[in-house]
Amino acid sequence: MARILVVDDDSTFCLMLKTFLTKHGHKVTEAFSFEEAYKAIQANLFDVVLTDFRLPEKSGMEVLAEAKRKNKNTIVVVMTGYGDIRMAVKAIKQGAHDYVTKPVNPDEILATIQNALGVAGNQTAQTDTDGYTYIEGKSKHSKEVARYISIVAPTNLSVIIQGDSGTGKEFVARQIHRESKRSGKPFVAIDCGALPRELAASEFFGHIKGSFTGAIADKVGQFEVANGGTLFLDEIGNLPYDVQVNLLRAIQERKIKRIGSSKEIPVDVRIIVATNEDLLEMVNRGSFREDLYHRLNEFTIRVAPLAERKDDLMVYAQWFLNQANRELSKNVTDFSPQTIEALHRYSWPGNLRELKNVIRRAVLLEQATTLNIESLPPELVSGDAITKEPANGADSLKNIKEKAEQELIISTLEKVKYNKTRAAKLLNIDRKTLYNKLKHYGIDLE
């Protein structure tokens, strides 16, 4: 979701464009004069300003100047008649991203904005956020998460982000960094679940050449890389117990030592962690240090699964649709009613990650400009089939799917010698989901 300001003295056109862009998942503010635009720019931070070149008091050039003065990264698109194109080109030279000619085609406006946001994402990737765009949903839960972000971001509090796999925990972490006073400094993410035990300390704190076998050169640790900024530790529950001790010491003392060195290096790093496990339960089991838990748990944000916030579904679906169009050079503009119904009916165990993959695949297959239900994967549309008794004792589609899933789970568990954590990773689900499926299929590992 982008925050967009539309400036045009034609109130009917302005409100029409606001309705159209809002329908496509953006948050839109309208202004009918330069004065209103000026007040809006001073009071808000906009990702995109869409302004008419000719306004009653002043031109769009003044709107451009004020928008860039408030935030140099704001994307400004100028709307102009054919007779003013030379002035529009001049506006581009002074910082406008693009111009569109009147009469304006809403789809052209949308494409221009999406392309502009794509460019902005690439520019961001060169600094600290890797093009991650935080999309605020419409549900009560999403608005609460956005409110928590705005409350905690300006502070230096450590934050635990709790949520199932694929719910967008890293996006929340990056948005906290983006809205913080550290936004001009690095955001460094470490996946603790993929971190080899023997290399974890080196990854965090660095090492000097020759400090252990394989240390063929000095290495700067991620604490030093993130100095002044934010260190994001994903799946913190997977961090080895002995490394938890070193992490706690670094957080408390704000100093680190590279492996093999006696020199202390001061670091100023904000810690944000994410987990799909209950850390307090892990503390009770003795697999997570209680002192580290309390040091990290200065503020907690829970990100609900998509199944609990269906009001957000089409906001994200539209965003992923636009993203897939850009990536795949397609032009699928909307969803059929049957597709929308199927999307709402599905439980989305893989959450936003699964939704993104489903939409991308469907856009790739779709030949029309509307995304039709035939382009969705079978598991989303099987409920539309007419229920009949299976002929000759044959399995129903649901039974076949469940049988295949059960066999996949069993074969994966056998492959990893019944290590549930590794099995869940290979199956691309969290451990809680795996436990639920084991219970559902009556798979007893004891």
AA letter at 348: W
Predicted local confidence at residue 22, as pLDDT? 86
Q: How is the chain split into domains, by residue range?
A: 3-125, 140-303, 307-384, 393-440
Predicted local confidence at residue 293, as pLDDT? 95
AA letter at 177: H
Predicted local confidence at residue 294, as pLDDT? 94
Predicted local confidence at residue 104, as pLDDT? 73
Contacts from 267-270 at CB under 8 Å and sequence distance 24+?
267/223, 267/224, 267/226, 267/227, 268/227, 268/228, 269/223, 269/226, 269/227, 269/228, 269/229, 269/230, 269/231, 270/156, 270/158, 270/177, 270/180, 270/182, 270/229, 270/230, 270/231
Predicted local confidence at residue 445, as pLDDT? 60
Please name the fold of domain 307-384: Helicase, Ruva Protein; domain 3 (1.10.8)
DSSP 8-state class, residue 137: -
Local structure of 273: helix, strand or coil? strand
pTM: 0.59
Kind plus residue range of the DSSP H or E element containing 5:
strand 3-7
* CATH of region 393-440: 1.10.10.60
Separation of CA 385 from chain center: 34
Q: Does the 3-125 domain belong in CATH 3.40.640.10?
A: no
Half-sphere exposure of 163 (CA within 13 A, CB side): 32
**In this structure, what token pair is assigned to residue 50?**
């869409």
Q: Do residues 165 and 427 touch, judged by C-beta distance below 8 A?
A: no
Predicted local confidence at residue 140, as pLDDT? 92
So what CATH class is 140-303? alpha beta
Q: How far apart are CA 292 and CA 432, in angstroms?
A: 23
H-helix segments, 366-396: 378-381
- Averages of pLDDT over runs of 10 residues in the chain (446 residues) are 87 83 86 90 88 84 88 84 63 76 74 66 35 80 94 95 92 93 89 79 86 77 91 91 90 91 92 93 91 95 94 91 88 91 92 93 93 91 46 50 76 74 78 75 66
**Intrachain domains 3-125 and 140-303 with the same fold:** yes
DSSP 8-state class, residue 80: E
Q: How far apart are CA 343 and CA 376, in angstroms?
A: 9
**In this structure, what token pair is assigned to residue 126?**
């060169």
Local structure of 89: helix, strand or coil? helix
Q: What is the secondary structure of 210-248 as a DSSP string?
A: TSSTT--S-EE-HHHHTTTSEEEEETGGGS-HHHHHHHH
From the list 259, 220, 233, the residue with the least C-alpha distance to 173 is: 233
Cβ atoms within 10 Å of 168's Cβ, excluding its own: 24
